[in-house]
Every structure is written in C-alpha cells, then in structure tokens.
Structure 1
C-alpha cells in the first residue's frame, strides 16, 4: 500500500490486514525500500510527496518484479495511462468492497499467462479512459486508437486461454473490462 495520506493508508490496511500481510509506504522512497520479489500486489497512489506513483511503476519494471499493480488515486486518468502498465485504475474515493475485490482479482491474475496479464492491463487502461473521457476526446486521440487495436489483438490471443478456464473465474477477472 503506497499512499501519502496516513488516514487513507490506515483505512485500507484495516480493510485488508485480516486476509493479507500488508506493507505500507507513504513516500516513493519508502515504497522502493519495501518493494521486493515477495510483494504480490501494490495499491499505488499517483501523487506522492517525493515523486509520482508512475515512477514506482518504472522501478517495478526495472527490477523485473512480478507483482500486479492497481493505481488507487484521486487523479482522473488521462491519455498517459496508455503506457503506464498498471493492472487496474481506481479513482478515489474507493469503497471497501472494491479495494478487497481488486486485490483478490489481482492475486488471481498472477497465475495466468503473460498474454492474459497484458490483456488485463490493456483493458484496464481502456476502461479507465472510457470512464474519464468523452467519446469525442477518445475518437480524436491516436494513443487511444492504438490501445483499442492492441486490445483487440490481445483479446484474440487470450480467447483460447479463456475457453479452457473456469468460466466463473474468467468472468470475475474480466468484469468491467471488455
């Protein structure tokens, strides 16, 4: 849990601590210090006092860590989210049920092939933009068009995996994303 507001960090920790080992950080530097290969899911604020949550995404990539990331932030998504590489994007305020479900879904996602994880990331970026932008703004942006093309290509690649997977789990993983 990387969140600069102590009260929010405490609240999310209380929601998750019964089921998970929760590490917390209030700054980018602290997050880099507690981030290692044993971390499965990161809930990440985009605005931190010493940098951006986007910078921690780069650190995760540089360290080649296999954790799933949900941006949990007050920042409405913009077209820059296309290249960030998160698995979900939640705009605050977020209710307990949504936080818990997101962590559960991301933990399940770890067990899937890279193509499925890439599809999920692409779908999350697409859904985030569609929730935040007007149809006209989406239609006029080349990054969104490229994202939609990638989404369709990945959808075709993962259909075979979805066909051999428990349908209840597939619905849980991909709800709200297609």
Structure 2
C-alpha cells in the first residue's frame, strides 16, 4: 500500500543517517515519512502535520530529549516514541514521551510502535496519559530500575488515573441510566 494524502506522517530523527534511511524504508510504503539527522533539523520540520515522531535521545548539539520538550511546548499533538540505544533510568519519569523503545529494533517493532501510537491518538487525555506512564513503567522494569522512588511514583500516578477513569465511567453510566429511564418514562406518558 502506498501512502496517500491522508496517510499519517511519521518524523524519524536520528543522527545516524543509515538508521533514518532504514527506518524510512520500512515505513514509507504505508506512511508519509520525514527524516532529520539532527535535533536542529527536526525542530525546523516540526509542524501540526506530524502524527508520530520517533526520536533518538543521544544526538550532538540538540538532543532528542530537547526535541521532545519542544514538541510538547509547541503543543504539536504528535505521539512521540523515544527510539534510542540509551537504557532508561529514573530520569525518564518527567519526560513527556508516549513510548520508549530501546535499540536495536526490528522492522516489525518499528511498525508496531507507529501503529500503537496512531491508535493512542484517538484515546482521551486520561487514557493517553495512562499509557504513557505504562510505557515508562515497562521501560524502567526492562532496565531493572523498579526499586526506585521514581518507579513508585509512576505506579501511584497510574493508580490515580485509573481511579479518575473509573469515576468518569461510573458517572457516564449513571447519566446513561437516567437518560434511558427518562426516555422510558416519556414513552409511557405518551401512551
């Protein structure tokens, strides 16, 4: 399948040109792909047309962490995965990425990451935040960093979001029940 005008746009940022070329080749049959080989180049291409960004963390001059911060500051709305050889540690807890993938990666993993991030774009704010935290939790667990205060904080924040989501569902269910009850009463009185 070739990308169309309505195909999602994926930004790939890595200072290793061979990797940006490889990832682009893997994705360009399904997506519009934009590549950048530096953080500065990535910042110059950022606009509201980017749906997913795959960022390397360790780049000279402008890091992927800085590009991520700028994406969030500009409120571009892109889903962002850190696609990097940098093993996660407790300092990732405050980063506002949506997924964390450690290199080396296979074609299927890159495709799956993009697909998951595109699907998450349709989720509400609470669900997106929950999955971002779940990605951080999984990244820390894979790096054996789960006995830290930062890890515990992520688990606590996930619990808080889960509680908020449960409260919202209960409220919506109650409203739906009252709406159906009102509709049923209305039908009865019309007879």
Asked if these proteins are the same fold (TM beyond 0.5), I'd say yes
Match of 2:14 in 1: 3
- Specify which of 140, 143, 148 is matched with residue 150 of structure 2: 143
- Alpha carbon RMSD of aligned pairs, Å? 1.5
Residues 1:80 and 2:91 are matched in the alignment = yes
Residue 157 of structure 1 and its aligned partner are, at CA, apart by 3.3
Q: CA deviation at 1:154?
A: 1.7
Return the alpha-carbon distance in structure 2 between the equivalents of residues 52 and 67 of structure 1.
Answer: 18
Q: Deviations over 1:80-137 (max 9, x none)?
A: 110101111111100000100110110111111000100011000010000102xxx5
Question: Do structure 1's residue 54 and structure 2's residue 65 form an aligned pair?
Answer: yes
Unaligned runs of 5+ in 2: 1-11, 173-191
How far residue 65 of structure 1 moved from its aligned partner, in angstroms, is: 1.2
The reply on whether 1:121 has 2:129 as its aligned counterpart is: no
The Cα shift of 1:155 comes to 2.5
Q: How many residues align?
A: 158
Give the TM-score of the pair, scaled to structure 1.
0.84
1:156 deviates by 3.1
Distance 1:91 1:59 in 2: 22
CA-CA distance at 1:57 after TM superposition: 1.1
Task: Write out per-residue CA displacement over residues 11-66 of structure 1, whole angstroms, 9 at most, x where no aligned residue.
Answer: 10000000000000011100000111010000000011222111011101110111
> Which consecutive unaligned segments of at least 5 residues does structure 1 have?
165-178
Deviation at 1:8, TM superposition (A): 0.7
Q: Report the secondary structure of 2:104's partner residue.
A: coil
Decide whether the 8 Å contact of 1:119 with 1:158 is kept in 2.
no
Tell me: higher relative CO, structure 1 or 2? Use CA pairs within 8 A at least 6 residues apart.
1
Structure 1 segments of 4+ aligned residues over 2 angstroms from their partners: 155-161
Distance 2:89 2:48 in 1: 30
SS state of the match for residue 43, structure 1?
Answer: strand
Return the match for 2:42 from 9, 16, 31: 31
What is the aligned partner in structure 1 of residue 164 from structure 2? 157
3-state SS in 1 of match to 2:66: helix
